[in-house]
Amino acid sequence: MTTKPSIEARLAELGITLPQASNPAGNYTNCVIVNGLMFVSGKGPSGNPKGKLGSEYTTEEGIHFARLAGIEVLAAVQAELGSLDRVKRVVKAQGFVNAVPSFEEHHKVLNGFSDLMAEVFGEKGVHTRSVLGAVSLRNNLPLVIDSIFEVEN
């Protein structure tokens, strides 16, 4: 019987080390599980970048920021579940992109998150998503992504 490699082993193959999960900035929690669905609070990229896509940052930089935000999401999920192997499926991602009004590549930016989920979880990392342009975001972050995962009880 062949055992499936763990998600943590997959992260190591990808050269990804998850940081400690960030603490909520207010009166809320990182994750809530209801009926097998884990709702993850919005996460921005590590490193505290500030600015808008289309002025301070390019689409390519936004893609990188979305990947970093995905790593922050994974850290929160791992902290809540104890192991990413308990993730059954990435269900949905919703991205908010802090952009100038003329910016039109929001969907490309969120590919940084979506590609990471597929790399880490394979087929069960493919998810639904929506992306919105924002006039501003907390701390002037370039993007914030919230997400929903199906998890084992």
CA 141 to chain CA mean position, Å: 14
Asked, for residue 47, whether it belongs to a domain, the answer is yes
Let me know if residue 12 belongs to a domain.
no
- Copy the structure tokens of residue 30: 């990182």
What's the pLDDT at 2? 56
Q: CB atoms < 10 A from the CB of 20, how many? A: 9
For 104, the token pair is 């039109």
Distance CA 31, CA 24 (A): 10
Has residue 110 been placed in a domain? Answer: yes
Q: Is residue 35 part of a domain?
A: yes
Domain count, the chain: 1
pTM summary value: 0.95
Query: Domain for residue 5, yes or no?
Result: no
Is residue 16 included in any domain, yes or no?
Answer: no
Determine contact, residues 37/149, Cβ cutoff 8 Å. Answer: yes
Residue 106 lies in a domain: yes
Displacement of CA 115 from its chain's centroid (Å): 10
Q: Which domain holds residue 57?
A: 28-151
CATH number for 145: 3.30.1330.40
On whether residue 86 sits in a domain, the answer given is yes
- pLDDT tens by residue, the chain, 153 residues: 556 679 999 999 999 999 999 998 889 999 999 999 999 999 999 998 999 999 999 999 999 999 999 999 999 999 999 999 999 999 999 999 999 999 999 999 999 999 999 999 999 999 999 999 999 999 999 999 999 999 998
